[in-house]
A and B are shown apart, each in its own frame.
Chain A
Amino acid sequence: MKNKFSKNHLVTFSIVIIAFLLCFILISSGNATRQFKGLLVPIGINIILAVSLNLAVGFLGQLTLGHAGFMSVGAYAGCLFSIQFQDILPMIIRFPLAMIAGGLVASAFGIIIGIPVLRMKGDYLAIVTLAFGEIIRSVITNLKFTGGAAGLKGTPQDTNYIIVFVVIFITLFVLMNLIDSRHGRAIMSIRDNSIAAESIGINITYFKLLTFVIAAFFAGVAGVLYGHNLSILSASTFDYNKSIEILVIVVLGGMGSIRGSIIAAILITALPEMLRGSDKYRMLLYAIILIFMMLLNSSPKFAQFKSKLNYKTLIGIIKSRIKKEA
């Protein structure tokens, strides 16, 4: 019998497919506004960042504040690769390779960071990953081959919304299937009760490392997509604020909900576009969202409200309304 989560994930996947088809039709027929077209790639990148961070924060239950750092090293690795090989390989081969390169480099850093922090309690992990993000940023800015403070120029502008959607599909496929497997269950068990998980033989160290590596990989891929969408790649974009922004998306969408991350990513990315002029309040809004969502999640009244809010009650309400009108 199919696991409930599987059904959930199938629904999410279908929604994304429909969204892709809609975008394709709109753009091909020339009915998409410039604003709309310009938002697709950033939204897509944020979706990939958010669902990968959600794996670590929402499913494993470990707060990492350096996700932008993984995005950063992936971006630089992928872009340098592309610059190096742009005259040797055709784009159709080079770009996917660049993405894999970026993802792998980011994963490698995921292991480097992961190993020392494996046994640390949550608070310490947060600080160390925060530090990692900052150190990466300052190191990259000081290196010559990354272009230093001036940034990296010359990356071919390969990113388009179709490629981004393809990557999203791959990311969702990997993450959703991982979560539906015994390894996904093991990861969640660590979040829910690590002492009990250990008592039934779950290797906590292994799964923490695995989660880090996978989350970092996709952050790196997102970074490559980002880097191939700009003329200059600068390490200062991948700062603490960026890590917080992704965290806000995960928190807003609901930790442990992939569909939530997707919807929240759309909202948060589109927000600055809609709030033209109030951009300086954006960070303030993020802070309020974080605090508010946490307070909301912990209040017992909200938990009651959430448990009553599901499709069954919704359909029940609709049915009784229809009966009333009949």
Chain B
Amino acid sequence: MSFISQLINGLSIGSIYALIALGYTMVYGIAKMLNFAHGDVIMIGAFSVFTAISSLHMNPMYAVLIGIITCVTLGVLIEKIAYKPLRKASPLTVLITAIGVSFLLQNIVLLIFGSTLKPFPSIMEVDSFKINENFSITGKSIITMVVTFIIMILLTLFINKTKTGRAMLAVSEDRGAAELMGVNVNKTISITFAIGSGLAAIAGVFYASTYGFIGPYSGSMPGIKAFIGAVLGGIGSIPGAMIGGILLGVVESLSKAYISTELSDAIVFAVLIIVLIFKPSGLLGKNRTEKV
């Protein structure tokens, strides 16, 4: 496969990472926490769609909708039950709780569905787009990239132009001030988790369609990689998450093609370490210093 094919592959998987990274970065910006369970919400999204189609025989469009609703509900519930009571707790406490939630989701799915990988039904039936004799872009890639692109534009407009979106920016900037200005902080945080989780559901569908199989641990690795993408772009920055996610997808794809598949994971983590050493705030991030 030529370089351009690998590149497009990378852009496609990178778009998925970008969608997931958005969830991480928004939650980190607003709630100042790393939602460790976010990756597993992706997996739940994929499983809900899977169940809707295979067991309930729903139309794929409705199934995806069910997936989104499930994830949004789950995200908001998790926030209310596990994270909200810990708003004043130490970051270590919140992190452990998030790990607990992640572990919980993985093992609930494991109990219900078992550990064998399930084939994900094919729902993106679009013909490949042929560029010339040598290669073409798969239908899946096209849909993934186009939909992600549209979502990113919509999200940017939402954040910058709507009242709720700007409230999210305000709360992430200075929670106390936002509250004094009349922003309903609880509602804003819930909405942030809702949006992030909704995007996770869509990412889950794309991821499952691209790789074909899902299992209880399927969300873990893409979640971590997407987080690395968010850090690369600057945690807390929405354009950063988009760029970081896509960039990471490209790095991963090219590493798999030109270096080694086994080492590609290690390379992705090496990227994280290098970024954190040399530019801890990421490409587009702001240097947030703690008040002394």
Contact = CB atoms under 8 A, between A and B. Distances in A.
A289 B104 CA distance: 10
Interface stretch (A21-29, A102-110, A126-134, A262-270): A126-134
Nearest to B85: A295
A209 interface: no
Interface string A276-288: 0000110110111
Contacts of B266: 135
Contacts of B108: 284
Given A135-B269, A138-B262, A298 B100 contact: no
A130 to B, nearest CB: 7
A201 interface: no
Interface string A300-319: 00000000000000000000
A322 B119 CA distance: 68
Contacts, number: 110
Interface in B13-51: 33-34, 36
Given A63-B92, A295-B86, A124 B276 contact: yes
A3 interface: no
B277 interface: yes
Contacts of A89: none
A291 B277 contact: no
Contact of A298 (B86, B106, B228, B269): B86
Contact of B103 (A120, A123, A244): A244
Contacts of A84: none
Contact of B91 (A122, A288, A295): A122
Contacts of B100: 287-291, 294
B224 A290 contact: no
B150 interface: no
Nearest to A138: B262
B103 A61 contact: no
Contacts of A297: 89, 93
Nearest to B103: A287
Please name the 6 residue pairs, one residue from A and one from B, whose CB atoms are nearest each other, closest first.
A290-B100, A287-B104, A291-B100, A123-B34, A287-B103, A294-B97
Given A120-B276, A283-B103, 9 more contacts: A63-B92, A138-B262, A244-B99, A280-B110, A283-B106, A283-B107, A288-B100, A288-B104, A291-B104
Interface of B: 33-34, 36, 82, 85-86, 88-97, 99-101, 103-104, 106-108, 110-111, 220, 224, 227-228, 231, 262, 265-266, 269, 272-273, 276-277, 280, 290, 292
